[in-house]
Structure 1
Amino acid sequence: MVKAQRSRAVPDDAPAAPGDARARPHRAIARLAVPAFLTLVAEPLFLLADSAIVGHLGTAQLAGLGVASAALLTAANIFVFLAYGTTSLVARQLGAGRPDAALSAGLDGVWLAAGLGLVSGALTAAFARPICALFGASAAALDHATTYLRISAIGIPAMLVLLATTGVLRGFQDTRTPLVAATLGFTANIVLNLVLVYPAGLGIAGSALGTVIAQTGMAGGLLWVVLRKARTSAAALRPHPGRVLRAALGGMPLLVRTLALRAAMLLTTWVAAGLGDVPLAAHQVALTVFGFLAFALDALAIAGQALTGASLGAGDVEGTRAATRVMLWWGWWGGVALGLLVLAVHRVLPALFTPDPAVRDALAVALLVLAIGQPIAGLVFVLDGVLIGAGDGLALAVVQVGVLVAYLPVLLAVRANAPDDAVAALQLLWWSFTAFMAFRLVALWLRARTDRWLVTGAA
């Protein structure tokens, strides 16, 4: 294993030393996880707000939003390595005492995000209707889905730049600045959507446009912060083609991991679409709630990425293990707490999203199953974050592809044997999704038990 020499030139805003995190792991985790939690929940709050506003336009509009949201999140989140991989690289360089190299790696990620965003946004807009048609929704839902996705594609470049800049700041163990951006962006999103959907009369198109404007503002603000930090450290702002290419190649394993994960989510939505508009509409809201809870638990994964990268960069294997144990404890009890919260409101939440009693009944049952699976989700997100922070991308890709292969027969069986009753069919689908999370937990746990991911040094 290679251990890099620590530089004496450490900036004033450098993160706490790995030894400090080991001595006070709860405090170090909380310092990163609490602001990260508040930041991460802003993204599903975008979708929750959209769902609540669009849901009162009609069931077809809400079903269309479900299809478009699944496609849009896939178009953007397959590149989540721009955040996760950048966090790991930046944190590892900082742990090795190389802040200038950390910023250079971060800027490479930002340039890569801009390029990928332009290509992905153009392709998504051009093929919006064929993409939405893949889900097999009704004709009315398909029209609304196409409208929403085509407009939302304009904001994909900003979404990817937002991922990359957030990753840079997390690597510097700064989770507060993204929190400020998320708070302002969420507030703007609510106001814009309410105005554009109803008073302006744009309907579902207004919801998409409002979210694009809010996300673009967030990306611009965080980009300004990163560029200012780069100027202070005299880091080169121009793109270096070779480094950007290496950043892209280095992100390939995490891209495969994310593609496999998104494929599982898309196939679950595909099965829901085959059950009819009522189960699909209820599934859209339940999946959005799952996203809200997932991002809440993912705050611990963010802490895991930053702390693991910094500890291994400094060669502190013992500290990495100790922090992982503490974060798993947090993940389990965080999942229990969120599950109890959803259980308490699973009959109340549906009324906030739709006036349709059939959709409300189906959604309540899906939320009940979702609540039961939260402790499993808490452990999954922590283990995923720790291994990402360690740069264990290849193993994560293999694990997630294997889990997808195991999940496919389960989904096909649900689609072929789903009962005619909408409530029972959606309940069966969500039990299957809970089994998918259990598959992930087993696979990640088996990997984390080994020492092969504990590689130290700057590389």
Structure 2
Amino acid sequence: MTDGPDAAVTGRRIAALAFPALGVLAAEPVYLLFDLAVVGRLGALSLAGLAIGGLILSVVSAQLTFLSYGTTARSARFYGGGNRVAAVGEGVQATWLALAIGAVIVTAVHLSAVPLVSAIVGSTSGGGDIATAAMPWVRIAIFGVPAILVSAAGNGWMRGVQDTMRPLRYVLVGFGVSAVLCPVLVYGWLGMPRLELAGSAIANLVGQWLAAVLFCRALLAEKVPLRLDTSVLRAQVVMGRDLVLRTLAFQACFVSAAAVAARFGAAAVAAHQVVLQLWNFLALVLDSLAIAAQSLVGAALGAGRTAHAKSVAWRVTAFSAIAAAALACAVAVGASVLPSLFTDDRSVLAAIGVPWWFMVAQLPIAGIVFALDGVLLGAGDAAFMRTATLASALVGFLPLIWLSLAYDWGLFGIWSGLSTFMVLRLVFVGWRAFSGRWLVPGIA
């Protein structure tokens, strides 16, 4: 049972929202790390194929983050204003959007899978072999996109009404089933056929759809109208436009990084993927505090309590900065041990060292950036977030990534670009938070 929108925002209240959100956010990257460990035993080529396939799946689904973050911001405003029916109604419309857009994505990726994979891996350093390994995974796993988007919409409205426990249960069930199926299907245990990389894709698919069904059941239990509401859909799409452009900036960085890493061979792209997946896991650990900020800030502004919203912002930022520093220390201490948990390929292990230490250096910066991201997204400040992220990508990351290809800087150049991108984002969101321009009260 959740507290009402007027509950005092103490450290305990923030933790009560953040810890279940942490479980939801961490479940996917933990599973992906497990998936990497299972597939990694098949060799560098299979690991590289999973890296490319996983990149495509994450890119096409991550473009629709407004189904989660935008829905939370709008739903939280209604919840703070005392209108739970309207808050849940945001989830209904987001779910319709998820199903429709997911179907379009599945069709588009199947029609373009061959040129898409080929464009990412290129034609050098074993690119053809990597593409051949990735293709079956992509064609199977892409059918999970509608389920991923439905779950995102479900997370969005539930966070908006400050219920983060049920999403945790649904996600754990889905990924738990996937984790059991993955080694069984990859290695052919328990009398099952040995499907190798295709088995990983099937395990992903089953778990994603199971979680989506649970989110749909929760929405039906609210007994709110399920018909399409064009006015709500239009408002969601307007906010979604800015968030999609923001996400495109992120994905341009990550796709470019993977594409350039692939030009340096299977070991380089596999090492990049291992560190990137660990980085994503740590980032989402920090993002759990940002989720709490998003829900609480949205509800406070919906109730017209601007001072309360500001207090939440600074509390969450302080907690996130401390957590990030602790994570950086832990990753630095584990540098000689942790990489071997994901692969025993010597060429991959040899390449991991460079991105590993960049990741350690980025974490303290990320702790502040992600917290303030949550604050601004909770305030519905999507237009500013769009502009800031695009500017950081165009000025900080993309020039360095392509220079690293031109001058053969390898993973050092790639991760220098990612670090510059993060520093510029810190400058932008820090300025915006101090300006107070995001403190706009009332219903969205």
When normalised by structure 1's length, the TM-score is: 0.92
Separation in 2 of the partners of 1:370 and 1:87? 29
Separation in 2 of the partners of 1:341 and 1:244? 44
1:129 paired with 2:138, answer no
| Aligned counterpart for 2:158 among listed residues 157, 169, 180 | 169
Separation in 1 of the partners of 2:364 and 2:300? 27
Identify the residue that residue 418 of structure 1 maps to in structure 2: 408
Identify the residue that residue 273 of structure 2 maps to in structure 1: 284
> Which whole-Å deviations, capped at 9, do the CAs of 1:369-400 have from their partners, x for residues lacking one?
21121111111111111111000111111111
Q: Shift in Å at residue 100 of structure 1?
A: 1.3
1:457 paired with 2:436, answer no
Identify the residue that residue 4 of structure 1 maps to in structure 2: none
Identify the residue that residue 53 of structure 2 maps to in structure 1: 68
| Aligned counterpart for 1:40 among listed residues 5, 16, 25 | 25
| Aligned counterpart for 2:105 among listed residues 104, 120, 129 | 120
Identify the residue that residue 201 of structure 1 maps to in structure 2: 194
Task: Indicate the SS of the match to 2:435.
Answer: coil
Equivalent runs, 1:34-433 vs 2, <5 Å: 34-137=19-122, 138-199=127-188, 200-229=193-222, 231=223, 235-406=224-395, 407-419=397-409, 425-433=410-418
Distance 1:430 1:304, change over 3 A: same
> Which whole-Å deviations, capped at 9, do the CAs of 1:245-272 have from their partners, x for residues lacking one?
3322331111111111111111111221
Task: Indicate the SS of the match to 1:127.
Answer: helix
Separation in 2 of the partners of 1:128 and 1:50? 22
When normalised by structure 2's length, the TM-score is: 0.95
Separation in 1 of the partners of 2:21 and 2:7? 22
Separation in 2 of the partners of 1:14 and 1:33? 13
Q: Shift in Å at residue 97 of structure 1?
A: 1.2
Separation in 2 of the partners of 1:72 and 1:48? 15
Separation in 1 of the partners of 2:324 and 2:2? 31
Separation in 2 of the partners of 1:171 and 1:115? 22
Distance 1:132 1:144, change over 3 A: same
> Which whole-Å deviations, capped at 9, do the CAs of 1:154-197 have from their partners, x for residues lacking one?
11000000100111111111111111112222221111111111
Separation in 2 of the partners of 1:18 and 1:442? 32
Task: Indicate the SS of the match to 1:251.
Answer: helix
Does the Cα contact within 8 Å between 1:122 and 1:153 map onto a contact in 2?
no
Separation in 2 of the partners of 1:320 and 1:247? 22
Separation in 1 of the partners of 2:318 and 2:135? 43
Does the Cα contact within 8 Å between 1:91 and 1:171 map onto a contact in 2?
yes
Identify the residue that residue 4 of structure 2 maps to in structure 1: 16
Distance 1:433 1:250, change over 3 A: closer
Letter in structure 2 aligned against 1:353 = F
Letter in structure 1 aligned against 2:62 = N
Identical counterparts, % of pairs: 37
Q: Shift in Å at residue 14 of structure 1?
A: 6.0
Per mean C-alpha deviation after superposition, the further-off stretch among 148-157 and 409-418 is: 409-418
Letter in structure 1 aligned against 2:8 = D
Separation in 1 of the partners of 2:421 and 2:235? 33
Separation in 2 of the partners of 1:194 and 1:381? 34
Letter in structure 2 aligned against 1:416 = A
Letter in structure 2 aligned against 1:20 = A
Does the Cα contact within 8 Å between 2:400 and 2:413 map onto a contact in 1?
no
Letter in structure 1 aligned against 2:216 = L
Q: Shift in Å at residue 354 of structure 1?
A: 1.9
Letter in structure 2 aligned against 1:385 = G
Identify the residue that residue 435 of structure 1 maps to in structure 2: 420
Q: Shift in Å at residue 349 of structure 1?
A: 2.0
Does the Cα contact within 8 Å between 2:121 and 2:130 map onto a contact in 1?
no
> Which whole-Å deviations, capped at 9, do the CAs of 1:324-382 have from their partners, x for residues lacking one?
11111111111111111111222212222222212112113322221121111111111
Distance 1:398 1:439, change over 3 A: same
Separation in 2 of the partners of 1:264 and 1:429? 9
Does the Cα contact within 8 Å between 1:282 and 1:359 map onto a contact in 2?
yes
> Which whole-Å deviations, capped at 9, do the CAs of 1:200-249 have from their partners, x for residues lacking one?
211101101101100110111121112202x1xxx211222443233223
Identify the residue that residue 433 of structure 2 maps to in structure 1: 448
Does the Cα contact within 8 Å between 1:86 and 1:109 map onto a contact in 2?
yes
Per mean C-alpha deviation after superposition, the further-off stretch among 435-444 and 203-212 is: 435-444
Letter in structure 1 aligned against 2:93 = D
Task: Indicate the SS of the match to 1:34.
Answer: helix
Separation in 1 of the partners of 2:44 and 2:256? 21
Unpaired segments ≥5 residues, structure 2: none
Does the Cα contact within 8 Å between 1:185 and 1:214 map onto a contact in 2?
yes
> Which whole-Å deviations, capped at 9, do the CAs of 1:293-324 have from their partners, x for residues lacking one?
11111101111110110010011111111111
Separation in 1 of the partners of 2:337 and 2:109? 36
Task: Indicate the SS of the match to 1:373.
Answer: helix
Separation in 2 of the partners of 1:80 and 1:289? 20
> What do you get for the CA RMSD once the two structures are aligned?
1.4
